[in-house]
């Protein structure tokens, strides 16, 4: 048994790689639902159904703990899954809360009332579904007072990344950064609120001054997972091999993933 990492496609690899750096002996099964990506423009019900299906595959492969390394699924489906669907002996964690705990200077699971924090202006780049869900603002509002979030939906950016079309990705980033800066000229923190976006973080970086902090989920989630497993060693299970699965065409997905990651990433078909 092992830990599962789920994403709509290739974006969760950014989280997988950081987990591997911190926990090199941890066996991980990655599942990319490339056959159904992108999720970011789908209805909440579709996202819920697809995410449950993907997580079920990981449960059936023996995972007791699954990280949903997809903001869209975390924002739109996770709460309902935890309330209505996840079996008692399994755990599903999302990527939103650890990042928000970081921004609001909180320890894991600190559920005390919202407080004033040092940050005022946050820029969030995310998929249209994540932005529409307002989950980021909701979770932030539970923990902090007086933080202004300016959200920018980045329609088409996940498709460009999944296709490996970096030229288009760069043009789209420029367009969306421009739109955001017109509404919030001086953000203090930039959140790359989609796990695909760190794959093209250099396109974001070049539009912001050096001092501006850019956060993505990968590091923060990997650190939180390490912490979680120290406190819940029963969730690790036996050591098996790590594998990457996809609902898409494994050869095609391998080619795109390896190009974006800069190392060979092999995929098997999820059945």
User: Which of the ranges 106-114, 193-201, 244-252, 257-265 carries the binding residues for ligand DGL, by CB under 6 A?
Assistant: 193-201
Name, in order, each residue with C-beta under 8 angstroms of 270's C-beta and a sequence gap of 6 or more. 31, 57, 245, 246, 247
Asked if 9 interacts with ligand DGL (CB under 6 A), we say: yes
Q: Does 98 bind ligand DGL (CB under 6 A)?
A: no
Given the residues 63, 70, 154, 244, select the one marked as catalytic. 70
Instruction: Catalytic residue, from 63, 154, 194, 244: name it.
Output: 194
Name the one range near ligand DGL by CB under 6 A: 22-30, 34-42, 170-178, 242-250. Answer: 34-42
For the CA atoms of 252, 1, 91, 79, the dihedral, rounded to the nearest 10 degrees, stands at 10
The contact pattern for ligand DGL, residues 198-227, with x = CB under 6 A and - = no contact, is ------------------------------
Q: Is 154 a catalytic residue?
A: no
Which region among 8-16, 114-122, 179-187, 246-254 touches ligand DGL (by CB under 6 A)? Answer: 8-16
Nearer to ligand DGL, 125 or 228 (CB): 125
Q: Which of residues 70-89 bind ligand DGL (CB under 6 A)?
A: 70-72
Residue 40 interacts with ligand DGL (CB under 6 A)?
Answer: yes
162 contacts 34 by C-beta, under 8 angstroms: yes
Q: How far apart are CA 96 and CA 230, in angstroms?
A: 21
Cα separations (Å) of 2 from 25, 29, 58, 221? Answer: 11, 7, 9, 17
* Known catalytic residue at 194: yes
List residues near ligand DGL by CB under 6 A.
7-9, 11, 37-40, 70-72, 127, 130, 158, 194-196
């Amino acid at each position: 048994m092992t830990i599962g990492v789920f994403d709509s496609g290739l974006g969760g690899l950014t989280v997988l790689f950081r987990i591997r750096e911190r926990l090199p002996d941890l066996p991980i099964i990655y599942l990319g639902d490339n056959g159904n990506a992108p999720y970011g423009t789908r209805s909440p019900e579709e996202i819920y159904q697809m995410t449950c299906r993907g997580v079920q595959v990981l449960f059936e492969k023996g995972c007791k703990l699954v990280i949903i390394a997809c903001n869209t699924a975390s924002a739109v489906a996770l709460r309902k899954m935890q309330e209505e669907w996840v079996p008692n002996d399994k755990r599903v964690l999302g990527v939103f809360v650890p990042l928000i705990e970081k921004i609001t200077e909180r320890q894991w699971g600190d559920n005390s009332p919202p407080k004033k924090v040092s940050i005022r202006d946050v820029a969030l780049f995310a998929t249209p579904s994540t932005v529409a869900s307002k989950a980021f603002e909701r979770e932030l509002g539970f923990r902090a007072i007086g933080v202004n979030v300016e959200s920018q939906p980045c329609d088409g950016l996940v498709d460009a990344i999944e296709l490996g079309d970096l030229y288009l990705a760069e043009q789209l980033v420029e367009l969306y950064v421009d739109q955001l800066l017109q509404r919030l000229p001086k953000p203090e923190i930039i959140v790359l609120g989609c796990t695909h976006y760190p794959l093209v973080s250099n396109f974001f970086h070049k539009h912001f001054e050096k001092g501006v902090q850019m956060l993505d989920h990968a590091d923060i989630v990997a650190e939180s997972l390490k912490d979680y497993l120290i406190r819940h060693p029963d969730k690790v299970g036996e050591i098996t091999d790590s594998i990457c699965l996809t609902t898409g065409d494994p050869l095609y997905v391998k080619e795109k993933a390896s190009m974006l990651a800069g190392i060979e990433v092999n995929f098997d078909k999820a059945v």
